[in-house]
Amino acid sequence: MDDLTMDLVRVCRRNRDGAYGTQNNRQRGLAAMAEELLELGYRLPTAASLKPKHVEALVEKWLNEDKTDASIRNRLTWLRWWAEKIGKPNVVSRDNAAYGVAERGEVTRNRAQVLDQSRLQAIESPHIQASLLLQVAFGLRREEAIKFRPQVAMRADHISLQGSWTKGGRSRTIPVTTLEQRQTLHHIAALVQGQGSLIPPDLTYVEQLKRYEYQTHKAGLRNTHGFRHAYAQRRYQALTGLACPLAGGKTWKEMTTSERDADRAARRQISAELGHGRLKITDTYLGRAFQ
């Protein structure tokens, strides 16, 4: 057990708020966060070391894993409890919307985000700029965009993502259908050259991830997972000719039979491109359609 986990256990034992089940779930949840922070390269010596950057890193990780709004809200509740018990309540925003998370009872929040070019230019590292462009053009997760190897991935009409880059080790392909995508790939191939990835040769993945977090936050680019949502919504529009329900498009009741068929087919296609095994997850990106 690492130092942070042990200290969090001590904090939990000193503060037995709530029923036994609540206490148990909270302690397990906080221990899981300590492990996640370690995976992200943050070795906190004590619970009192928690800072806003750690909270933002955790939320970004959960968003990248497509956790539901309800699941992230629960985790934020535990984080706020943690911050309160160490006397640093302002470390965690009281507003879930600040993290792009819907409030309880609210319809799923549209997390789609457009890349601000001035903020992109504020990013110092050309490799991180390239990763952001990949997230926008292909809806890649952050880890996939950082580990991307153009010489391995690029094909004539699609990109091929290797299992070692992706969540759950599931390889997948994404079609190249737009000029923006082709220009992005040509730019990255010229930047990397040879067989390299978008991780500079002198850095590890964790080191590049921390640089990514620092530079994107400094440039005002938060919750970059929103680029993945925007990709899904653009693909839905291209595949169906309609805006998705979450972007103001028709609800299931308003759709014709042919539009419902197109909706189902588009969701299957988008789910495959995003690397999801469950079609239901598309509700987070596109809004609920099935009844």
For residue range 67-79, what is the model confidence (pLDDT) as tens digits? Answer: 888 899 999 999 9
Asked whether the beta carbons of 28 and 102 are under 8 A apart, the reply is no
Q: Which of the four pLDDT bands, split at 50, 70 and 90, describes residue 107? A: low
The pLDDT value recorded for residue 280 is 81
What is the CB neighbour count within 10 angstroms for residue 248?
9
pLDDT above 90 for 10? yes
| Measured distance CA(285)–CA(280) in Å, rounded | 10
pLDDT above 90 for 20? yes
Q: What is the DSSP string of 107-130?
A: -------PPPHHHHHH---HHHHH
* DSSP conformation class of 252: T
The pLDDT value recorded for residue 106 is 67
| Measured distance CA(159)–CA(154) in Å, rounded | 5
| Measured distance CA(194)–CA(150) in Å, rounded | 9
For residue range 241-261, what is the model confidence (pLDDT) as tens digits? Answer: 999 999 999 998 999 999 999
The pLDDT value recorded for residue 109 is 75
Contacts of 222 (CB under 8 A, 6+ apart): 56, 60, 216
Contacts of 117 (CB under 8 A, 6+ apart): none
| Measured distance CA(236)–CA(259) in Å, rounded | 12
Question: Residue 159 carries which side chain, given as an amino acid letter?
Answer: I
Q: To the nearest whole percent, how much of the chain has pLDDT over 90?
A: 79
For residue range 22-56, what is the model confidence (pLDDT) as tens digits? Answer: 999 999 999 999 999 999 889 999 999 999 999 99
pLDDT above 80 for 291? no
Contacts of 50 (CB under 8 A, 6+ apart): 44, 82, 83, 86, 88, 91
For residue range 136-180, what is the model confidence (pLDDT) as tens digits? Answer: 999 999 999 999 999 999 999 999 999 999 988 889 999 999 999
Asked whether the beta carbons of 213 and 225 are under 8 A apart, the reply is no
Instruction: Identify which of 289, 237, 233, 232 has the alpha carbon closest to the alpha carbon of residue 264.
Output: 289
For residue range 108-123, what is the model confidence (pLDDT) as tens digits? Answer: 678 899 999 999 999 9
pLDDT above 90 for 13? yes
Question: Residue 188 carries which side chain, given as an amino acid letter?
Answer: I
The pLDDT value recorded for residue 215 is 96
Per the listing, tokens 């992005």 go with 184
| Measured distance CA(138)–CA(287) in Å, rounded | 20
Across-strand partners of 120?
A: none
The pLDDT value recorded for residue 290 is 57
Question: What is the overall mean pLDDT for the chain?
Answer: 92
Total-model pTM: 0.83
- Give the start-to-end residue ranges of the domains of the chain: 3-99, 117-151+177-226, 229-286
Q: Which of the four pLDDT bands, split at 50, 70 and 90, describes residue 278? A: confident
Of residues 67 and 15, more confidently modeled: 15
For residue range 126-140, what is the model confidence (pLDDT) as tens digits? Answer: 999 999 999 999 999
Q: Which of the four pLDDT bands, split at 50, 70 and 90, describes residue 194? A: confident
Instruction: Identify which of 150, 142, 146 has the alpha carbon closest to the alpha carbon of residue 190.
Output: 150
The pLDDT value recorded for residue 97 is 83
